[in-house]
Amino acid sequence: MAEKNMIKITLRKRPSTKKQRVTLNGIGLGKIDSSSLIEDTPATRGMVGKVSHLVEVEKAG
């Protein structure tokens, strides 16, 4: 069985707009320094791209 590519996303700065807050909630982030381990798909990459100035992205495993 093939392993899924995962990425770890950590919130580093506070969102300033409601759209950014909604996007971060969709990723699973709420407070500064919270982290989320999610599957690396085009949809999640798009969400991360919208808030890339607020988060830090690392490859997991």
- Check residue 20 and give its pLDDT: 97
| Strand partners for 34 | none
Q: Which residues contact 41 (CB under 8 A, 6 or more apart)?
A: none
Six-digit token pair at 18? 């409601």
Domains of the chain: 6-60 (3.30.1390.20)
Q: Phi and psi of 48, rounded to 5°? A: -65, -35
pLDDT (0 to 100) of residue 4: 85
Q: Mutual orientation of helices 18-27 and 42-50 as an angle, nearest 10°?
A: 140
- At 10, which helix (H) or strand (E)? strand 6-11
pLDDT (tens digit, 0 to 9) for every residue of the chain, 61 residues total?
Answer: 557 899 999 999 999 999 999 999 999 999 999 999 999 999 999 999 999 999 999 998 7
pLDDT of residue 2: 59
pLDDT of residue 32: 96
What pLDDT was estimated at residue 14?
96
